[in-house]
Amino acid sequence: MDYLAFHFKITPFFPHAEILIQNLADIGFDAFEENPEGFVGYVPKNQFQEEPFKALLDTEVFAHQYRMEEIPATNWNAVWESSFEPIVVADTLCIHAPFHENTKQYPLQVCIQPKMSFGTGHHATTYLMAEQMLKENFLAKKVLDMGSGTGILSILAEKLGAKMVLGIDIEPWAYENALENKEANATERTHFLLGDASCIPQTETYDFVLANINRNILLQDMAHYVQALANKGKLLLSGFLAADIELLDTEAKRLGLKPVCINSRAEWRQLTFEKE
């Protein structure tokens, strides 16, 4: 799959770059890479929506410039391998690529073949989810990971002791990469499906539901997540900005969830709820 890369210069960076990233994600952009001047946003060429893109930029009031380039799919591995560094979370978890060395001092290891930045732990939302998971008890629990991407959170859940993990993602590239990462980590109790919330099994309930997506999908599908959640189970959400918290909190409470905690990293947020 060919991609389009949009190189944005944003002034000032915070919070405008984070807001634009969220809005671009809502119209199909699925990977982002921050840099000192702004960020690069990536979108599959065959999914790029020119009119919504132009309309979005016309509504932005901050200073921005961009240039576009086309990137053949065959370039992805080289792009990410050249810039991907190990990520360490809470001095416990190391997220690394197969070519990294000297990571064995950390008790938890997750090996990810870097193909998209959202799935490597570099993005704040993935980091926040992993950080919160380290605080939870996954031993012998059942886990549903919605928008599982490269499978990083699913794999981590098994490594934290989950007895069964199901990851679901709508993107074919993410599904294929998740299968590769499942094999690389020898995670036998983790399985992946290609699809959306309609693929959630109706015969199962889960102790944890993980959803690191974007605000619109979280609001759209939260009722499905709650239905799949066992009593006293926890819903971990990320993929949104501080300004989105009120909407998500209101919907969660409407569905019978109790707020547990909120975490932040730059402008991004992570929320945890419990089913009462």
Confidence of residue 149 (pLDDT cuts 50, 70, 90): confident
* Domain boundaries along the sequence of the chain: 3-71, 136-275
Q: With CA atoms as reference, report the closest residue to 167 among 188, 148, 194.
A: 148
Give 117 or 21, the one with higher predicted confidence.
21
pLDDT surpassing 50 at residue 41:
yes
Q: What superfamily would CATH give domain 3-71?
A: YebC, transcriptional regulation domain (3.30.70.980)
Q: CATH assignment of 136-275?
A: 3.40.50.150
Instruction: State which of 66-75, 126-135, 171-180 shows the largest mean pLDDT.
Output: 126-135
Least confident residue range of 17-26, 176-185, 193-202: 17-26
Span 121-139, average pLDDT: 89
CB count within 10 Å of CB 261 equals: 12
What is the 8-class DSSP label of residue 119? G
CB count within 10 Å of CB 77 equals: 12
pLDDT surpassing 70 at residue 28:
yes
Residue in the structure block whose two tokens are 């053949």: 72
Diameter of the chain measured on Cα atoms: 51
